[in-house]
Structure 1
Amino acid sequence: MPTEPPAPAGRPAAARPGRKLGPVAESVGSAHRAWLDPMRASYLASGLTLSELSTRLRFAKSKLSELLRGVGHYPRWEIVYMLARELGVPSWPLYRLWRQSAFEAHKNADWVENCTEHTPILTTAPTTPPLAHRAFCELVESDYSLFAQTFLDDEQRDAAVCDTFDILWLSWNDALASRDARRFSWNVLRATVMSRTPHRDGRPELSRAAFDTVALRSLTEPDHLMNQVAESLELFTAMSRLPASQLDVMVLRWLCGFLPETTSALLGTSLARVRSDERHATRFLESVLCPPLSTEGNTP
């Protein structure tokens, strides 16, 4: 587990003349935002204006603005690639995220292949992540997978972790410039996992975890099994109502079996915060699952 975050890298704030870039359109989905947000961050940090990019790329300023806001049709790879090259964004993780998002935007394989037929995916820029990024990902991969598996099946779990590392590669400078790269990375993982997790009434479903507990795997008698399933479903339904930070701690501590120190390192937060979140979450779950008996209407 990462006990110390990578050393932060300085990043001067860039000022630019002209109109500010508008916000991302509300209609943009999570898969699209996975590559669009890092692209926007690279543009904002570059100090370049849309007019300058338009001149360099020979592409209409209005179209560049639409691309960076997620407005209009899903962008073809050619323009995404050209913009990424100007902004110094690595092509490999960007392409993987762009391609996946294209399919989620209902583009077929022929359209995707046509977009890349005459445009190289690789550039002269490095095609492997920075050494610190690779080391960090190797360190947390198995732990991230355990967390993701609480919410997703095996295929979705692997895809979520892979996407997390691609997004982190695109945003590595931002991660290093943040207060704690471990916390930055965890936020990326959580957002990626939750975007793929089924929700009910705005809360993530934990029914998969209810059928995958150690207690269930150890039971053989049907009556005991059904009773345990019911209890587990009740517990995980209650857990889904926890605030995000408390839910993360409880999943890592109770379901993944991590020590408080490991949980603290993965989350990029203090050990005191982990213990506080676990304490408050436990009290809430006890109040829901084991409410105090009411004495109203009882005769002395």
Structure 2
Amino acid sequence: MMPSSDAAQPPPHSVRRGRPPAPISPDAGPLHRAWLEPVRNVYFTSGLTQDDLVDRSGYSKTRISELLRGNGYYPPWEITFSVIHALGMPTPPMVRLWKAAALEADKGPEWIRQCIEQVAHEAEGPPLPYQAFTETMHRPYLEYARAFLLTDRRARGVVAETNDILWLSWKEATASENLNRYAWLLLRSRVMLRAARDGGRPDLRAAVFSTREIRAHQDPGRMVALSELTDLFDAVSRLPDDQMDVAVLHYLCGIPDQRIPDVLGLSPAIAHAVDHHARATVEALLGIPDTRE
């Protein structure tokens, strides 16, 4: 998952002139936090103070503080736009994330429409490197999301949300040690937020019905295959995170072995070792004898 803004630290070249914002309110929903955390990260590393945001946005320090904390009311688009404009953040992904969070906060479509229409802004295009990156990762990200969320609509929605958060955080992402890893953990966090759970772990058993083996089998062979794959996917869901991700991408999503390290942001050697441990763990969970010397 992308680093929490509450724990973020400014880079060495950044000089803070004011106090960091207070922690995000526990009342802020997950979709509200999806855009609020990147905004706080940019603010925290910008060198600006709340007084600076007051001067640039035209809103009071109390209103700015409430927005940065996600405290009290869900902020109208006008003040939200004023803050991100002062911080130099892109508008298109912010509009989409703000709308989704407004619905989460029980704001009606008419209120949302009126808020957006009150503010004139230009829709700038995404950075070309960002566009190339998201296009390259689209298929594996979509397949991974679909494995847990089951429907194409839900999977596409989560990938789009991930891409919007990544766009908002693009400077931070590209300044990180590993862009691919940063983006993967972000996607993973958004998928797991919505995945069905079983005893605290994501539940992959329903994904069995989308496999080629089950679609191809006819009774009674279909029932045998269904039982075996259900046990397999249940075992996969109990793996440590990286092992589960490798297994899902390879065995459920059909992503070629050579692409998986790039998708996960791992070196080929580490990805190979993770895959090896995943196979051994699954075999142990299923009670398969180890015949390797």
Contact kept in structure 1, 2:204 and 2:233, CA below 8 Å:
yes
1:183-194 equivalences under 5 Å are 183-194=181-192
Residue aligning to 2:73: 73
- Structure with bigger helix share is 2
Residue aligning to 1:214: 212
How far is 1:285 from its partner? 1.2
Instruction: Give the TM-score normalised by the residue count of structure 1.
Output: 0.87
Instruction: Give the TM-score normalised by the residue count of structure 2.
Output: 0.89
Residue aligning to 1:86: 86
- Match status 1:144 vs 2:128: no
Residue aligning to 1:39: 39
- CA root-mean-square deviation: 1.7
Contact kept in structure 2, 1:14 and 1:44, CA below 8 Å:
no
How far is 1:12 from its partner? 5.8
How far is 1:194 from its partner? 1.4
Q: How far apart in 2 are the matches of 1:46 and 1:18?
A: 11
Q: How far apart in 1 are the matches of 2:232 and 2:258?
A: 25
1:1-300 equivalences under 5 Å are 13-120=13-120, 122-123=121-122, 127-152=124-149, 153-221=151-219, 223-290=220-287
How far is 1:232 from its partner? 1.7
| Larger Rg, first or second structure (1 or 2) | 1
Residue aligning to 2:7: none
Q: How far apart in 2 are the matches of 1:57 and 1:166?
A: 23
How far is 1:30 from its partner? 2.3
Q: How far apart in 2 are the matches of 1:69 and 1:136?
A: 31
Structure 1 residues 207 and 13, CA, compared in 2 at 3 Å: closer, same or farther?
A: farther
Structure with more relative contact order (C-alpha pairs < 8 Å, separation 6 or more): 1
Contact kept in structure 1, 2:78 and 2:115, CA below 8 Å:
yes
Structure 1 residues 273 and 29, CA, compared in 2 at 3 Å: closer, same or farther?
A: farther
Q: How far apart in 2 are the matches of 1:230 and 1:137?
A: 36
Q: How far apart in 2 are the matches of 1:119 and 1:208?
A: 44
What amino acid maps onto 2:92 in structure 1?
W
Aligned residues: 278
Q: How far apart in 2 are the matches of 1:128 and 1:117?
A: 20
Spell out structure 1 runs of 4+ moving beyond 4 A: none
Q: How far apart in 2 are the matches of 1:215 and 1:147?
A: 18
Structure 2, gaps ≥5 residues long: 1-10
How far is 1:87 from its partner? 0.3
Contact kept in structure 2, 1:14 and 1:47, CA below 8 Å:
yes
Q: How far apart in 1 are the matches of 2:164 and 2:118?
A: 24
Classify the secondary structure of the residue corresponding to 1:24: coil
Q: How far apart in 2 are the matches of 1:115 and 1:44?
A: 27
Structure 1 residues 130 and 23, CA, compared in 2 at 3 Å: closer, same or farther?
A: same
Contact kept in structure 1, 2:18 and 2:48, CA below 8 Å:
no
Contact kept in structure 1, 2:17 and 2:47, CA below 8 Å:
no
Contact kept in structure 2, 1:13 and 1:45, CA below 8 Å:
no
